[in-house]
Chains A and B, each alone.
Chain A
């Protein structure tokens, strides 16, 4: 039986993170930017779980749980901000949200 090894896990994590970064940089819809952020968080969680397996140490899995909790908090606040923005500015396009631009 061929076991997985750490390298494939890290490569997948890197690719997933890159896709998330491209989404954050390229997309102009605030909701899709949020989803790309979730992709990046998940890439990091995958790397944590991979390291936990490679070191036979559960601390990495605990870190993955923390990532999940932080993501939940971030989504709750972020999405209520999106709704608030939509209520006052009637848009979720980042290009239209330039009130704070000096």
Chain B
């Protein structure tokens, strides 16, 4: 049952991702990206990360995608490009990257194989996530992220001014 749902969600997410890179209109690509992010949130729920799934929908499919749609509509981008073909250099790079990727997947799956271990009832909840987030190991990274977000905010405001 779990596996069936996972395959369904993942297949839908991969199909939507394929739509993202093949549509010529940026608007269609953005809508397909929303679908892909929603299906990935389903995967997160199956992997016992319900809070991450909720944030995925709120932050990613909500806020970030709205930004994308704003820009697409602001710039009034039409379907403008024919899909180019993969050149030989890109193809070689892709094959090499695929080999490295497959090798690392095989290596990682070999290291942690077998069915998933049992988890406590609190695993993946907001409480447990907050406890891990505010743990001493992650505290510095958390503060770094907040500095990064503030910097990005200031940068976006500066870039958006009428004259730089």
Closest B residue to A58 by CB, please name it.
B132
A79 to B60, CA, bound (A): 15
Q: How does the 8 Å CB contact mask read for A24-37 relative to B, with 1 for contact and 0 for none?
A: 01111101101110
A interface majority secondary structure: helix
CB pair B159–A4 under 8 Å, yes or no, is: no
CB distance from A42 to the nearest CB of B (A): 6
A-B pairs under 8 A by CB, number: 240
CB pair B159–A77 under 8 Å, yes or no, is: yes
CB pair B14–A12 under 8 Å, yes or no, is: yes
A76 to B154, CA, bound (A): 10
Count of chain A residues with a beta carbon within 8 Å of a chain B beta carbon? 72
A73 to B152, CA, bound (A): 5
Check A6 for interface membership: any CB of B closer than 8 A.
yes
CB pair B20–A49 under 8 Å, yes or no, is: no
CB distance from B87 to the nearest CB of A (A): 9
Instruction: Give residues in B with beta carbon < 8 Å to A.
Output: 1-4, 6-7, 10, 13-14, 17-18, 20-21, 23, 26, 29-30, 33, 36-37, 40, 43-44, 46-49, 51-52, 55-56, 59-60, 63-64, 67-68, 70-72, 74-75, 77, 80-81, 83-86, 90, 93-94, 97-98, 101-102, 105, 108-109, 112-119, 123-124, 128-129, 131-133, 137-138, 141, 145, 148-149, 151-153, 155-156, 159-160, 164
A12-B10, A14-B105 known; A54 vs B55 contact (CB < 8 Å) = no
CB distance from A54 to the nearest CB of B (A): 5
Instruction: Give residues in A with beta carbon < 8 Å to B.
Output: 1-23, 25-29, 31-32, 34-36, 38-39, 42, 45-46, 49-56, 58-59, 61-62, 64-66, 68-77, 79-84, 86, 92-93
CB pair A12–B152 under 8 Å, yes or no, is: no
24 residue pairs bridging A and B, Cβ less than 8 Å apart: A2-B3, A2-B4, A4-B6, A14-B105, A22-B21, A23-B20, A25-B93, A26-B84, A28-B81, A29-B81, A32-B26, A36-B20, A45-B52, A55-B112, A58-B131, A59-B132, A66-B141, A66-B145, A70-B145, A72-B149, A79-B156, A80-B159, A82-B71, A83-B71
CB pair A4–B59 under 8 Å, yes or no, is: no
CB pair A4–B112 under 8 Å, yes or no, is: no
